[in-house]
Amino acid sequence: MKKVFAVLLTAVLLLVPCAVGASAEGALNEYEQQVIDVLSGTVSKNGSDFQIPVEYINQAKAYFLTIDMTEAQSQEIIGYINEGAELVEAQDFPAGTTVNFSSFSSAVKQELLALGQSACEVVGLTLTYDGSNVVIKDGATTVFNASPIVKTTGASADMTAAVATAGIVLVVLGAAFIVAKKARLFVK
Amino acid sequence: MVYLVPFAFALLGYLMLSPIISMARDTWKLIAMTETQSQAEENLFTGKVFYEGDTIASSTIQFPRFGNQYGVLSIEGTNVDAPLYFGDDDAYLRKGLGQYAGSSFPGMGSTILIGGHNNTYFRDLKSAKVGAKITVDTNYGTYVYEIERMEVLRHNDKSAFDLASETENIVLYTCYPFNMLGLTPQRYFVYGKLVSGPRILLDQ
């Protein structure tokens, strides 16, 4: 479900850059707030409630603070959100099931991704989905990322892979040398 | 059999060296990026801002986008004094501290989540003490937080912080143990409550 709504969120973010003369500064205007309110809503299905994760909404809010949205854009964006929500609601899951993007059929996944991708292309944003993560970019600039919240922030993040790999290479080198020597490959 | 050894070695070497090559390539990208900064990597922070009001209109603030440095974070009694970026991708964590983009900005009344590497910019996070001040100088004002507690938790512990909090607070984290060689599932979290700084009025 998280990935689903992440895709839905893309439909939101997609249309935002349509704003002519978007300002890098800005309050959260009423139209942006309307979108935030819709994103913050709850969808009930079979006794389970589904919500877009707050971290996704916060990313949308952070992006909205750098642009200015018009009423027309807001209404169109909300339309996209509702369309996606209807598609999700149409899917049938047993009560209490934890639903995420992978829970849907391939056809539904494709439909949701196509919705997001098409909307992205209209305004020059790109949506990428590698099977586990959704990233939306405005050119080279990321505007949304569904990656894990807490990152790897240790020395291991930079060095362990290299050190371990170097160690393995040395072991392989040593083993290759031993084998080659036993096979008298070095004999003149 | 012996003729297979060099082939096997070459194949293993390729597979094993790929992470190093990838890291070298990413490092080169980082070097190249710093030489030709795109707008997304613009530094919004040009020095300490002295703002005396209790509130600040959101419309007067230039909010950062991914990759923008928009502040500096320092911790009293430690050597932590580092650039603060919006976004916490690897590229930004190599240059400073990274605010998780799904968390709040200082002044917005919720949780600010900031990560940093334990061998660089958060190397001395371990020296932080309860009661010490965390100062976040941003491009729109200065915020001070007081450290309340520290905890060691798993990286995916949902109780570690609340991104929907309606009380402004700051959460700093880095990998733990600090000197462990290897990927670790634990993080060292430092929690602070707001002491001072202008409240952002999002509707103005």
In B, residues 101-130, which contact A (CB 8 Å cutoff)?
101-105, 110, 113, 115-119, 122
Q: What is the pLDDT of residues A85-136, one digit of tens each?
A: 888 888 877 766 666 667 778 888 888 887 777 766 755 668 888 777 888 8
DSSP-derived 3-state class of residue B84? strand
Q: Which of A26, A153, A163 sits opposite B118 (nearest CB)?
A: A153
Q: Is A187 on the interface with B (CB under 8 A)?
A: no
Per the listing, tokens 């002491």 go with: B195
Give the Cα separation of B85 and B100 in Å (integer): 9
Radius of gyration of chain A (CA): 24
CB contact under 8 A, B67 and A141: yes
Minimal CA–CA distance to A18: which of A152, A120, A137? A120
Torsion angle, CA of A79/A6/A64/B121, rounded to 10 degrees?
180
DSSP-derived 3-state class of residue B112? strand
Evaluate if residue B15 carries a pLDDT over 70. no
Evaluate if residue B36 carries a pLDDT over 60. no
DSSP string computed for B155-193? TT-TTS--TT-SS-EEEEEEEESTT-SS--SEEEEEEEE
How much is the pLDDT for A126?
84
Give the pair of three-digit tokens for residue B17.
Answer: 């060296």
* A6 in Cβ contact with A144 (< 8 Å): yes
Give the Cα separation of B12 and B16 in Å (integer): 6
The complex scores an ipTM of 0.80
Evaluate if residue B52 carries a pLDDT over 70. yes
Instruction: Please state, for a pLDDT cut of 90, what percent of chain A lies above it.
Output: 7
Please count the CA atoms within 13 angstroms of the CA of B150 that sit on its side-chain side.
Answer: 16
Q: What is the pLDDT of residues A165-174, one digit of tens each?
A: 566 667 766 7
Residue A137 identity: K
Query: A144 in the Ramachandran plot: left (φ > 0), alpha (ψ -120 to 50) or beta?
Result: beta
DSSP string computed for A104-135? S-HHHHHHHHHHHHHHHHHTTEEEEE-SS-EE
Q: What is the pTM of this model?
A: 0.77
CB contact under 8 A, A172 and B5: no
In B, residues 163-202, which contact A (CB 8 Å cutoff)?
163-164, 173-176, 178-184, 187, 201-202
In A, residues 12-31, which contact B (CB 8 Å cutoff)?
24-28
